[in-house]
Amino acid sequence: MRYLVTGAAGFIGMQVARRLLEDGHAVATIDNLNSYYHPALKQARLALLRPHEHFTFHEASLADGERIQQIFREGRFDGVIHLAAQAGVRHSLHEPFTYAESNLHGFLHILEGCRQNRVAHLVFASSSSVYGLNRTMPFAVADNVDHPISLYAATKKANELMAHSYSHLYGLPATGLRFFTVYGPWGRPDMSPFLFTHAILHHRPIKLYNEGQNRRGFTYIDDIVEAVVAIAGRPAAPNPAWDGARPDPGSSSAPWRIFNIGSPFPVTMIEFVATLEDALGAKAIIELHPPAPGDMEATAADIRDLEAATGCRPTTALADGLRRFVQWYRDHRVLADRCVAD
């Protein structure tokens, strides 16, 4: 098949593109290589993809509608896996307009590209952050998600709604994936596994907000990729049992679905640091802080819908995943340290 993967220089995007190439698909990719974090890491990820015969890279901004439409017309894609976005809950407190440009305006260009070129299936990244003030654990796709607590989360909820409108109006099969705290080799240097590993190895303190009691359903990258690829091959279809009098938030009478992809077993950040210390063989210097604006107290995924549809479920234990991440960090120490230090 011919796939378009956006955000292919990013953490999840590179891993998904590599898996599709290894499975024999042709993969065109888009990334704007922005400086949200060090571009050297993005270039290193792309270097893993370039040797593949059926790999194509386009450096482009999602906000450039003419360029995006040109890529769609020339690519004639069977499927689109849209993973590009301006990420980061805390960053959205300081640079809100960046999120509107990339996550809203940019996503609209992706939807239009899919509509105009009759793409058979759009898979797009959402986030566990859409659950916002919800306190029911684990989070289920049937839960209400009308109370986000960051602009980043609000843009991801908006993406789900925008995709639904295109599914309803134009019959575009679209599947949204709510990712839960993804970690692993080639991860993002602005996230806790990367930041904490760097700090511990350099004998610097790490900050734990909410006194370290925030809980997260950490999900290893390989489990994410397995589910994304499985879903990509299963275009969303209308739910024949969907009832407008009692609407199911995770499906529709249109060809639109939402799935959680994440661990159903959250750990506190204190527990996470202890597991990371074991993997590193070194102790952390911990600073406890009050809750940070925009941070959710806990996330954990109800994945019953995902299992029923694909047979996939995250299986990598946190201790195993962190050992693999630490080994990658040690193997790429110069690059990894540079990305955090800058």
Q: Whole-angstrom Cα distance, residue 225 to residue 221?
A: 6
Structural Rg of the chain based on CA atoms? 19
Supply the pLDDT for residue 333: 96
CATH superfamily label, 2-183+218-264+299-315 = NAD(P)-binding Rossmann-like Domain (3.40.50.720)
Position 91 pLDDT exceeds 90: no
Residue ranges of domains in the chain: 2-183+218-264+299-315
Q: Give catalytic residue positions.
A: 152
Amino acid, res. 23: D
Instruction: Give CA angle at 320 (318, 321), nearest 5°.
Output: 65
- In Å, how far from its chain's centre is CA 287? 28
Supply the pLDDT for residue 246: 95
Q: Would you say 166 and 114 are in contact if contact means Cβ atoms under 8 Å apart?
A: yes
Question: What's the average model confidence in pLDDT over 106-125?
Answer: 98
Supply the pLDDT for residue 88: 74
Position 342 pLDDT exceeds 70: no
Question: What's the average model confidence in pLDDT over 97-119?
Answer: 94
Band the pLDDT of 3: cuts 50, 70, 90: very high
Q: Which residues of 105-132 are buried (b: 16+ CB within 10 A; e: fewer)?
A: ebbbbbbebbbebebebbbbbbbbbbbb
Q: Would you say 67 and 124 are in contact if contact means Cβ atoms under 8 Å apart?
A: no
Mapped onto helix, strand or coil, the DSSP state of residue 47 is helix
